[in-house]
Structure 1
Amino acid sequence: MSRLLELENVTAAYGAVKALFGVSLALDEGQVVALMGRNGMGKTTTIRCISRLLLHSGGRLSFAGRDLKGVSAPKVAQLGVGLVPEGRRCFAPLTVAENLVVAARPGPWDIERVQALFPRLKERMRQTSATLSGGEQQMLAIGRALMTNPRLLILDEATEGLAPVVRQEIWAGVRALKAEGLSILLVDKSLKEIVSVADSAVIIERGETVWQGGIDALTPELTDRYLGV
């Protein structure tokens, strides 16, 4: 497998407030990597750096062999990074179909494939996204990211706050995407589901990588130390 995403000692700040002090992670083509840590430890900031919504101040960040220093957020999206941000952020006035079409780029993912992945959306194509349930909006956000035909899909808390039955539908979708060989970086609080789908994990604590390895090496001692409340 070839290396798709790599961060080496990445640092970042919000103005004068430093947020990342040295995050390192690696993700290969076709791999699912879980980015883990307690709330406020830098997971979303790391994702913002990868998607270029926040520029890193130090270290190295590369995607598909390209150094991302100075690369804009739109350009990173064009290179193949599809982001499903925390909070979904669908375009409320647009219909489901319009939300999908506006993001479309050439490739195998089209509206029909998104509908097959999330059949609920097929029944809602003419509704505005503002009228959807939270779970349906999350499915739409994932579908919209897939319509960009990404090489890497980033899921930031894709199942947070959703009903159990809806969470299971979304996790089933994630497993289907993994089976197709899509590279995925995910953040989620459900350790059981993460273990079922991820190949490896990276744990960050106070803006630094403190552990990374295969998902089978994620011991109860590690989860208690770095993920426990």
Structure 2
Amino acid sequence: MSLLSLDGVTASYGPVQALFGVDLALEEGEVLALMGRNGMGKSSTIKVICRLLKHSGGQVRFDGTDLAALPPHKAARAGLGLVPEGRRCFANLTVYENLIAAARPGAWDCARVYGFFERLGERQGQTAATLSGGEQQMLAIGRALMTNPRLLILDEATEGLAPVVRQEIWAAISRLKAETGLAILVVDKSLKELRQVADRAVILERGKTVWAGGFDALTHDITDTYLGV
């Protein structure tokens, strides 16, 4: 049984349908890339998984549990840790306060996060508003880890960051994969970096899954057709 599975998922924003049939499966300890051009349903899929958008058809299951009836906070408690697009740190709270805001008991605590992201430890008394974009992204990841999730969801975690900072974030994702065995669902446009860290990919086109498989089977024809790269 997959840790996370979506089968034929459809969803709408009022009268506007966004998802027309999303299928994906993610196993324990796996890194899965969710890919597609802008506006093809990636963020809507993430919202459905995290219960921020109700699906109108299909099924969403996490560790065998149907997520349809769960509100967002109960989905989070079930083991979903979201690093949202745009970071969304609490600007007026300190690094430490951001980390403990949604913390749950488990292996990840402040000391472990500070060990993983040393700069957060150095700046634990600073407010999030005073951090650089890269440091805020580290904080957003650390905050999600503090919920001690079974699945970490990264929605455009490197978008808008300087190249050197993007490499730091990719290095952190690689470390999480190697050192923790945490299941990770990552949305990003950086095909080169995704190839290095992800085990498999799912591609969306117009709100529907059009391709799924390992990166060794991801040919130039497929990327040209669905990703434009």
Q: Same fold (TM over 0.5)?
A: yes
Q: 1:103 Cα deviation (Å)?
A: 1.7
Q: Give TM-score, length-normalised by structure 2.
A: 0.98
Q: 1:120 Cα deviation (Å)?
A: 1.2
Could you say which residue in structure 1 is the equivalent of 2:36? 37
CA distance in 2, matches of 1:98, 1:70: 31
3-state DSSP of counterpart to 2:204: strand
Percent of aligned positions that are identical: 71
Could you say which residue in structure 2 is the equivalent of 1:164? 163
CA distance in 1, matches of 2:68, 2:108: 29
3-state DSSP of counterpart to 2:101: helix
Q: 1:104 Cα deviation (Å)?
A: 1.1
Could you say which residue in structure 2 is the equivalent of 1:118? 117
Q: 1:112 Cα deviation (Å)?
A: 1.3
How is 1:137-176 mapped onto 2 (pairs within 5 angstroms)?
Answer: 137-176=136-175
CA distance in 1, matches of 2:121, 2:219: 41
**Structure 2: tracts of 5 or more residues without a match:** none
Deviations 1:39-83 (CA, angstroms, capped at 9, x unpaired):
000000000000000010000100000011111100000000000
Could you say which residue in structure 2 is the equivalent of 1:105? 104
Q: Give TM-score, length-normalised by structure 1.
A: 0.98
Could you say which residue in structure 2 is the equivalent of 1:11? 10
How is 1:90-101 mapped onto 2 (pairs within 5 angstroms)?
Answer: 90-101=89-100
Q: 1:140 Cα deviation (Å)?
A: 0.2
Q: 1:221 Cα deviation (Å)?
A: 1.0
Alpha-carbon RMSD: 0.8
3-state DSSP of counterpart to 1:25: strand
**2:51 matched to 1:52?**
yes
Deviations 1:158-203 (CA, angstroms, capped at 9, x unpaired):
0001011111111111011111200000001110100000000000
CA distance in 2, matches of 1:149, 1:211: 31
CA distance in 2, matches of 1:173, 1:66: 30
Runs of 4+ in 1 over 3 A off after TM superposition: none
3-state DSSP of counterpart to 2:55: coil
CA distance in 2, matches of 1:111, 1:189: 30
Letter in 1 for 2:28: E
Could you say which residue in structure 2 is the equivalent of 1:64? 63
Letter in 1 for 2:225: R
**2:44 matched to 1:82?**
no
CA distance in 1, matches of 2:80, 2:138: 18
Q: 1:6 Cα deviation (Å)?
A: 0.1
Matched residues, number = 228
CA distance in 2, matches of 1:32, 1:218: 16
Could you say which residue in structure 1 is the equivalent of 2:197? 197
CA distance in 2, matches of 1:81, 1:226: 28
Could you say which residue in structure 2 is the equivalent of 1:24? 23
Q: 1:123 Cα deviation (Å)?
A: 1.2
Deviations 1:124-174 (CA, angstroms, capped at 9, x unpaired):
101000111111111000000000000000000000010111111111110
